[in-house]
Amino acid sequence: MKRLLVSILIAIASVLLITLPVLAIANPATIAFTSSGAGRYKVFENVYETGDMLFVAESYINYDPAPGTPTDYMASEAFSFQLLNAAGDTTILQTAITEFEDTVISIYQTAAQVIANADLVSGTLYNFRLIGNPSIFGAGIEGTNMATKPLTADDWLDQSEYDGTDSWLYVFCIAVVSNIEASSGAVHAVEVGGITYLDASGATLFLAGIPALNVFLPEIFLTVAAPMTATDPASTGAYQTALTPLAQLGGSTAASVDSMADWLSVSSTTAGIVISAILGFVLLPVIYLKTQNGTISMIAASFFTVICGYLGLFPLAIAFIIAGVILILTGFLFWGRISI
């Protein structure tokens, strides 16, 4: 019995070591709220309607000169922009980063959303954070894959105080686009009659980061070929839900299965099924030895299959099919009074 237990432990350890997650993306060379100078981040109130809030920041996640811009993950998968409470220990709102390198990112809350969220209070000295997805990078490390900045009273601005190209939001956006041009070498703005406007490429860049900017500040655009409309961007919290420990476990396991599949030159589904089978052949005999009941062992096998699918070892649909077949077989053997 002792030899059997030792063999089981060795088998389990071997499988777990094989399936340890392998990071497919390096830490950035620089992660900050600006590509040069002081960090650029503000909260604008009364932007479109009285009582609304627009949280905006310049996001600089740089991978040059090495190891180069990632190709395994999109920026929206790898990094997010967060609004944290004053203590910096609770995430209130967050959204995915739109681009690597130098860009702009924002979260908008309507007046109704501000009222509904008790954590949103005008003048609060929140913290802004850029952070790598924990399921890819692990725990955030300040200055490595995370950047945090506390707000000051000067970072709260009332957009209703000034209009158009004299407004706070216009001044902020032009300062950010100047930084982006300096860091990228690309041109995103043009000056006409002493006033700086976003050109076509700048409009595309800023509308990706501030989706309703054409509604909030139409004066910043050089030309509009057709009426531009946009609904108020909603913050659903879906990305935050995806970062729960259970979801991280599933994502990491699935990533490790992909790595093993590449190593074995098979599909991820095949690799996951092989890993599950190895675990099943190790664990299920132990259940049978303890219970001396084949029916209980087969029911346990069906639950084990579903759990493997839920953790991302292979598609959950396939797990349910296999579990269903096991349960049908169990029922057939039970009602057929065939001893197993």
Model pLDDT for residues 18-65, shown as the tens digit of each residue: 444 444 688 999 999 998 877 899 999 999 999 999 999 999 999 987
Average pLDDT rounded to a whole number, residues 259-264: 70
Give the E-state strand segments of 97-233 in sequence order: 101-109, 127-132, 146-150, 156-158, 189-192, 195-198
Residues 263 and 319 in one domain: yes
Residues 153 and 189 in one domain: yes
Residues 80 and 172 in one domain: yes
Predicted confidence (pLDDT) per residue in 198-247, tens digit:
999 999 999 999 999 999 999 999 865 445 566 665 665 555 555 444 45
Q: Is residue 8 part of a domain?
A: no
Residues 143 and 275 in one domain: no
Q: Is residue 9 part of a domain?
A: no
| Nearest-angstrom CA–CA distance, 172 and 165 | 11
Q: Which range of residues forms the domain containing residue 68? A: 30-241
Residues 167 and 184 in one domain: yes
Q: Which of 101-110, 133-142, 325-334 has the lowest mean pLDDT?
A: 325-334
pTM for the whole structure: 0.62
Q: 241, 276, 300 — which closes off a domain?
A: 241
Q: Is residue 3 part of a domain?
A: no
Residues 195 and 304 in one domain: no
| Nearest-angstrom CA–CA distance, 329 and 87 | 56
- Other C-beta atoms closer than 10 Å to the C-beta of 294 total 15
Q: What is the rounded average pLDDT for all residues in the chain? A: 82
